[in-house]
Structures are given as structure tokens and as C-alpha cells.
Structure 1
Amino acid sequence: MSVYVGDRVVREAVKPSSRPVKRPIWGGAESVNTLFAILFQICGKALIMNGDSWRSSAQAIRLGRSRRFSVVKQRPKRRPSSMPWRVSQCLNLTASGSPMHNSEIPAPGSTAAMPLNAAAAVTPAVSVAMSVYNGERFLDAAIASVRRQTFADFEFLILDDGSNDRSVEIARHHAAQDSRIRVIARENRGLIASLNELLAAARAPLFARMDADDVCRQDRFARQVAFLEANPDHGVIGTWTEDIDEYDRPFVTHAPEHPVTFEDVLAVIEQRSPLSHPTIMARRDIVRAVGGYHVAYRHCEDYDLWLRLASVTKLANIPERLLSYRHYAGQISNRHAFAQQYGAAVAQLAYRERQLGRPDPTEHMQQLPAVDALDQVFETPGLSRQIRDKVARGAIYSRDAMRGAGFALLIDHVRDGGNGPELWRTVLRLVLFGMPLRAVRLAIALLLRI
């Protein structure tokens, strides 16, 4: 008889219901393989069939029962691959049953090609963590870039941190098309709480970060997974970035490239962050072992984490631009430059304490101490003035810092003896920033020091 399974035509031997007929002799490896191929095709089809498809299949088998064999010409065989991927590809559907554009079809072996219950039962290789707060403007492109990765064995955790725009709607739209995506929506708790929640929810042994306003190159995950597999002594791998503006145009920066080797990382880590946070992929258990993200280091939680990880594992960067890093006026790094600079300075103090074998006094703090309290917290005279001078000279280039607490720190720095041409140029800079009264105050403070 002839039985159609999907678009394939196969033959099957059926015992007649009345008079006996001549049966074929089943024997040899080729016949056994043929039988297993038929059973495998039928079982594979069952993975995605709904109730109507089951009835249609049963009806086809009943109609095919006859008293003699019919030799039917086989259609050309498809390229061999794993069954779940072949079925999903033939139907051109996602695991949820939604139409899938050809550019979005995952690679063979991807959990996105499996039924939803099967994908949930498989532990992915990578957990991708994205925290979103009012990120609707760039979110769609950011999520799409993750879905297009050539390395497809991942779960994608998107946590909406109490957005009041369309961020949740955009995330859920993608989740409906891709079973690898899991959306978590709740009230606003802040970025650090969100990152720690994502770290706790991650099921995979590798933990990758992604921001809601950046774009991944398609081979980012593949390159990073390959590096970590080849270098088991490394716990974190980042990449270089391509800088773009809010309109996807090239954005010119004068920052140095991130260090490539672990030795290069150690050479600069006490001066600046050696990694770009949204590019990293890390071994999840190592990040958990050092305590995840510390809540006190708001707006510089990543730099504090690198400093703690550098004491227990190796960090490096792939010297390829595998992520487009977006610069625009509303991003966190622009709005909280002063808090980042102060937090980075305190994180460096804590790093030196750990290097000397002493406990980190900031480990269990909910917020960082004021600059005047640093001498007491770290039990080292002179630290307060040292950090004040360092942060003040970094804050003079930031409009937001000069508009906020950075200006008061600058005045204290001048009263402590700070002077020099750059501070006089800051007077003019404040005028250009639209703060003429603060420019006058700084000029008076500098004149009183002469």
C-alpha cells in the first residue's frame, strides 16, 4: 500500500483481513533500516501534529489498507538533519506555531525549532540576560539581533523593570514568535536588583549580557562560546565594540580599546574598566560565587564586578567588534557620570583592600559612604582628600556632574588646595554649559587660593 507521511511516500506491509497473500521477505540491514526510517518519520511528525493532523494521519493509514503491495516511486530525499529541525523547517513555523521569516529560522539543533514543552526540558548552553526600563525606542532591534545569532542554543531572559512605555508589549511580541524568550514583568526595582534576579533565573552554565539599546553581530555568541571552550581558565570574555549614535551612524570616541589578554586587563584594571558590560559572556557559577552585582555600586556595578572577578578568574576580550554600542543623550552613562566616577574610585579602594588580604568594607553596604567618611570606613587617613581630588578633576568634563553634586565636590577640592590651568578652563566650560553663576563661584574660589 502507499502511505503519505508529510510530503514523503513510503511503503508498509499490512496483514490482509481475508485470504492470505504473498508476503515480502524482510531481512538484511537495508530492510531493517527502512523500517526504522518509517517509524522515525511517523514519530517525528507526531511532535508537532495537532488533533486534526492526528485524525488525518489515521484516516490515511486506514484508507491505505489493501490486499496487495503497490510500488510507488519515492520522492527525492531531503538533506539529512535532526528530525525536530527538519519538521519545523518544512512547515516554516516557530515552536509556538507562528509563521517564521526565513531570516529568523534558527540553526539546526536550536531549542527554538523544538516544541515548547521539549525546549523547556532542555538545559540551554547560554542564558542571555537583558534588563529593560522604558527602552521601546531601540528594543526591537536589540532583541532581533539576539534572535539572529548563528549560535542558537540559548534562553533569552528579558526582565522589564516597571516600564511605562511599550517595552513589555515589544518583548512579548518576540516571545510569541520564539520559544527561547522568557519575559519577566514586574514593578521597578532598579538595574542592580534586575541583574541579580536574571543571574538567579539563568539555567545555562554561561551567562551573557545584552543591553536594550545595543545590537549584536550575528556571530557574537558563537565566537564567545568557542573562546570559553578553548580557554577553561578564563571566566569572562568580552569583545570590542563599534560605537554608533541614536540613528545608527558611526559615533566618534577617543576612548582606548579594551585590553585583549588577562595580563593586559590587570595592567589597566585599577585605572579604568577593562570590559564593556553588554558584550560579556561569563561562567554563571563564578559570577554567583563572588556575590553577583553589589547593590552599593549603583551605576558602576559592572566595574566593581570585574575587580572582584579578577581575583578569582581570568578576564579577556576578543579583539573583534561583535557589538554595536549606542551613544545618545538619555543613556544611563551620560545621566549618572558623577556617580559612576565616585563609585569607580571607591571600587578601586575596595580592590586594593582585597589584594592586601583585608576584608572589603563595602561588601554588605546598601549605598556607598560619603567622601568625607572614607578615612573612617577604610581606616586609612588621607583617603577622603585623595578621592575628592581624583573625582573632582574627572567631573569637570560632565555637564550633569557640574549641575549636580560634582560641583560641590569641585569647590571642596579647590578649598583643599586644588588649582591649575584646567580648573580655570572649567570656568569657561561652565559658561558654555549654561551655568554662569557656578562659573562665577568657581572663579572666586580659585582667586581666593592665589
Structure 2
Amino acid sequence: MKISFVVPTRNSARTLDACLASLRAQTHPDVEVLVVDNGSTDGTVEIAGRHAHQVLQWGPERSAQRNHGTDRSIGDVVVFIDSDMVLEPQVATRIEERFAAEPDTGALVIPERSFGEGFLARCREMEKMLYVGDPAVESPRAFRREVINRVGGWNEELTAAEDWDLADRTRLATTIGRVPAWIWHDEGRIRLRVTFAKKRYYGRWIDQYVRMNADSSGGKFVRIALLRRPARLLRHPVLTAGLATLKLTEAAGLALGIRDSRTTAGSRAA
């Protein structure tokens, strides 16, 4: 079973070397690595050239990049990895084992942990652990090729919530399983101002996703998992306070992004 990893990039030089090195270090003997770049100017392409089997240029956003990578890959399984992620060496092997043992399973979740620099990165690390096993938050990353083709790939109209959208369509088409190995997400140094701006940018697509999925999207935003383990939150009151600040900042950014989207739509309609 050949496994293709598709990695969309844009100015990803800080994290890309570690990401791609982890893909090439997989214990599985038949791995393909494709980087689909979108006009990087920071050395991303040079780093990709040292590791990837194919380095492609495509845009305008990451959903289109992932679809192009799927089209150009040749694996029986396609796995979508972000450029700031590092995989444990056995991930690809575990993917093959799961698909071989579960022929009715068409896609797999790879659980995530995070790491980074500073206090807010520690808050995010705690948050990610609370989400493990929560289907409202986790989305599949590994797909049998026939399944990703059948569900139509990534929605190129979305640049945020695109993973939720794909997960929604995948659940209607096949069974989703899990891999007993981890992705480690490099958060770097989290800054509230940057987080706010990023969420405001993504808010326009969040609004679009909500409009497309009015009946089922609510659970994606009310992160019940944060309340299911109160003992853990109480054991770490300082981290919990930091996490609350982080989530409020994100919520404010998303709210403004959604408002911007609706204001723009209203102006066009007028």
C-alpha cells in the first residue's frame, strides 16, 4: 500500500524542514511526499526540494492546493498534513494496518498533540489533549483514494472550516476510524494579537460554513470537551485562565470576521 502525504505551504520555512523530515523518516517502506506551494518567498521551496518527491505550485488557497496534490499523487491512501506538523515515525505503518484490518473504514483520524514556546503554547497543549476523541473537533486526515475522490475532495470555496466540511461529507459516505499514533503540532510562540487577526481573517469562511450547515454546525463552536474534564482544568488553574483568555480572543476575532463577511455581503446585495 503506497501512502501519499500532501503538504500545502505558504512561507512555511520555520517549520517545514522538521515536518518533511518526519514524513521521510516513516517506518512504512512506500511513502510519497508532495509539497504544494502557493508563492512562498522565504525559502520554503528550497526546503521542500530537499525532502519532497514532488514540489508543485498551485493556489489560490490551501483547499485548492490539497486537491491539486491529490490529483498529482499516486498513493492508494492520501494523507493531508499541515506544514507545522511533525509525525511520529510509525504513523504511516499504523494507517496501513488500520485500513487492512478494517476494510469498511474509508478515512482515519490521526490524533494531535501540540508543543510550542511560552505560556500560551502550554495552554494550547492542554486544550488539544482535552479534544482527543471528540468527534465534533477531530477530523480525518488519511483517506483511501476512492473515498476522497467519491466525496469530491476539499471544498475550494472554504479556507477555514474546510476540514469540518470534508469530515461532514466523509461521515455520510464511509466509516471513520482512528490511528494509534500521534501528530505533534508546532504552535511556535502564540501571540494574542496575531491570533485575533488570524481568526478575523478566517471568520468570513466560518460564516459561509455555518450558512451551509445551519442544522449541524453548532457543536463545532461550543467546545463541550473543555467542560467534560473539569478536574483537569481545576488542577491547572493558571493554564485554565490562560486558555480562557486565548479562547475569548479567538471568539472575538471570529465574531468580527463573521460581521465583516455579512457587512460585505449586505453591501453587495444593496
Q: Structure 2 length normalisation: TM-score?
A: 0.72
Please tell me whether residue 252 in structure 1 is matched to residue 129 in structure 2. Answer: no
Task: Name the larger-Rg structure.
Answer: 1
Q: Which amino acid aligns with 1:201?
A: R
**Matched residue SS, 1:142:** helix
Give 2:257's aligned residue. 405
1:340–1:244 distance in 2 versus 1, CA, 3 Å: farther
Aligned-pair distance for 1:156? 0.8
Aligned-pair distance for 1:252? 3.0
1:199–1:297 distance in 2 versus 1, CA, 3 Å: same
Q: Kindly indicate which of the two structures has a greater share of residues assigned to helix.
A: 2
1:334–1:324 distance in 2 versus 1, CA, 3 Å: farther
Gaps of 5+ in 1: 1-123, 176-180, 266-271, 353-393, 412-450
Give 2:82's aligned residue. 211
1:338–1:189 distance in 2 versus 1, CA, 3 Å: closer
Are the equivalent residues in 1 in contact too, given 2:204–2:260 (CA < 8 A)?
Answer: no
Q: Kindly indicate which of the two structures has a greater share of residues assigned to strand.
A: 2
- Identical-residue share of aligned pairs (%): 22
Q: Which amino acid aligns with 1:313?
A: T
Give 1:374's aligned residue. none
1:190–1:166 distance in 2 versus 1, CA, 3 Å: same
Q: Which amino acid aligns with 1:240?
A: P
Aligned-pair distance for 1:406? 4.1
Are the equivalent residues in 2 in contact too, given 1:338–1:395 (CA < 8 A)?
Answer: no
Whole-angstrom CA distance in 2 between matches of 1:407 and 1:197: 31
Are the equivalent residues in 1 in contact too, given 2:8–2:37 (CA < 8 A)?
Answer: yes
Q: CA RMSD in A?
A: 3.1
Whole-angstrom CA distance in 1 between matches of 2:159 and 2:146: 22
- Cα deviation code 1:232-258 (max 9, x no counterpart): 1111111221111258x7543335334
Are the equivalent residues in 2 in contact too, given 1:298–1:343 (CA < 8 A)?
Answer: no
Give 1:294's aligned residue. 155
Alignment length, in residue pairs? 225
- Cα deviation code 1:305-345 (max 9, x no counterpart): 11111111011223x45110122546896464523542442
Taking the TM superposition and a 5 Å limit, the aligned residue runs for 1:350-361 are: none
Taking the TM superposition and a 5 Å limit, the aligned residue runs for 1:4-403 are: 125-175=2-52, 181-186=53-58, 188-245=59-116, 250=122, 251-254=124-127, 256-259=130-133, 265=135, 272-275=136-139, 280-318=141-179, 320-328=180-188, 329=190, 334=199, 336-339=201-204, 341-349=206-214, 397-401=250-254
Are the equivalent residues in 1 in contact too, given 2:3–2:78 (CA < 8 A)?
Answer: yes
Q: Which amino acid aligns with 1:153?
A: D
Aligned-pair distance for 1:185? 3.0
1:197–1:351 distance in 2 versus 1, CA, 3 Å: farther
Whole-angstrom CA distance in 1 between matches of 2:50 and 2:261: 46
Whole-angstrom CA distance in 2 between matches of 1:234 and 1:205: 14
- Cα deviation code 1:134-164 (max 9, x no counterpart): 0001111111011111113011111111111
1:396–1:167 distance in 2 versus 1, CA, 3 Å: closer
Aligned-pair distance for 1:299? 1.2
**Matched residue SS, 1:169:** helix
Aligned-pair distance for 1:288? 0.9
1:397–1:183 distance in 2 versus 1, CA, 3 Å: closer
Whole-angstrom CA distance in 2 between matches of 1:217 and 1:149: 8
1:335–1:216 distance in 2 versus 1, CA, 3 Å: farther
Are the equivalent residues in 2 in contact too, given 1:168–1:185 (CA < 8 A)?
Answer: no
Q: Structure 1 length normalisation: TM-score?
A: 0.45
1:257–1:316 distance in 2 versus 1, CA, 3 Å: farther
**Matched residue SS, 2:54:** strand
| Worse overlay, 297-306 or 142-151 | 297-306
- Cα deviation code 1:379-424 (max 9, x no counterpart): xxxxxxxxxxxxxxx987534335x43457999xxxxxxxxxxxxx
Gaps of 5+ in 2: 218-246, 264-270
